[in-house]
Amino acid sequence: MLVHVKGSNQLTVEPRYTKGFLVVHSKHIHVKTALLQAVASVVERPLGNLEVQVVNTARMYTGSSGTTTAGLAFAGYNSPPATNYAQTETWNGTSWTEVNDLNTARHAVGGGGTQTSAICIDGNPRSGSVELWDGSSWTETTNLNTNRDGLGAAADGSESAVAFAGATPSYTANTETWNGSSWTEVNNLNTARGEVGTGGGKTNSVLCLGGTPSPNNKLTEAWNGTSWTEVADMAIGRVNFGQAGAGTTASMAMAGGSPDASTEEFTGGLALASITVS
């Protein structure tokens, strides 16, 4: 999950979600959210407005994990001046609390897991660095095989994850899985890209959505734990957008991003995949 904020003060942004968990970045912010309903057919969902308490450190391009009542936000970037952040904050459903920082400040990371068991994967600057969160502190662990930023990722916790896509700086289709101690290169995406959306949030059930290079990519691919399958394209090609899901590829929504603020819903998983726009 990433959130992109252009500036400070009171803003309207397009959020990213992980398992329904929302992160916002600014000193005061007005957030657009997508209403998600897990149904077996395609239903249009309008954007609504939601006011939430903001994080303590304003930033964008963060990583995150958790739920709407137990979340974690880490890393990030803001300018001017251009600054990478190591800050980590927890969300209890009402407020944010600063906790122990990452060992390496960065942004455009891959991430996932829970509030007490999470992973932060590489990012900008690219080094392959990976850190694990145990609920109180970050520990550096085995690096990725392919250094990248703007990648997609999903994790069940700090012991199981998948990382894919990104910029090396050239765009990559490389996919790697994490078993708690080492990374293994597995079957690649069908199309190399970066700045992708991620839906689903499970290491054996995740979507890779859109991304770059230009023109913005409409492609959607689904990961089943072994290989990627191309499924229904998004109606509108986009990058840096928000998405929400219930932990699988069966039903999710994506909203906003560049260059369009519309909302789309994906339903049906691998057997019956449909996307509509509103």
24 within some domain: yes
* Top-ranked range on mean pLDDT: pick from 152-161, 242-251, 258-267: 152-161
The answer to whether residue 256 sits within a structural domain is yes
Query: The domain spanning residue 130 has which CATH number?
Result: 2.120.10.80
Q: Could you report the per-residue pLDDT of 29-68, keeping only the tens digit for each?
A: 323 222 222 222 223 334 444 556 789 999 989 998 998 8
Evaluate whether residue 4 is within a structural domain.
Answer: no
List, in sequence order, every residue forming a beta bridge with 240; answer none if it has no partner.
none
Instruction: Give the span between the Cα atoms of 116 and 171, in whole angstroms.
Output: 32
DSSP sequence for 128-171: --EEEE-SS-EEEEPPPSS--BS-EEEEEETTEEEEE--BSSSB
In a domain, 5, yes or no: no
Does 181 fall in a domain? yes
Reported confidence tier of residue 3, pLDDT bands at 50, 70, 90? very low
> Is the pLDDT confidence value at 112 over 60?
yes
Q: What is the CA radius of gyration of the chain?
A: 17
Cβ neighbours of residue 80 closer than 8 Å, sequence gap 6 or more: none
Q: What angle do CA 265, 244, 48 make, to 5 degrees?
A: 75
1 within a domain of the structure (yes/no): no
**Total domain count, the chain:** 1
Structure tokens at 260: 């369009």
Kindly report the pTM of this predicted structure: 0.76
Q: What percent of the chain has pLDDT over 70?
A: 67
pLDDT value at 155 more than 70: yes
Query: What is residue 199's predicted lDDT score, i.e. its pLDDT?
Result: 79
Residue 2 lies in a domain: no
Type of residue numbered 265: E
Range of the domain at 230: 10-277
Residue 116's SS3 state is coil
104 has pLDDT over 70: yes
pLDDT, mean of residues 220-248: 76
What pLDDT, on a 0 to 100 scale, did the predictor assign at position 68?
84
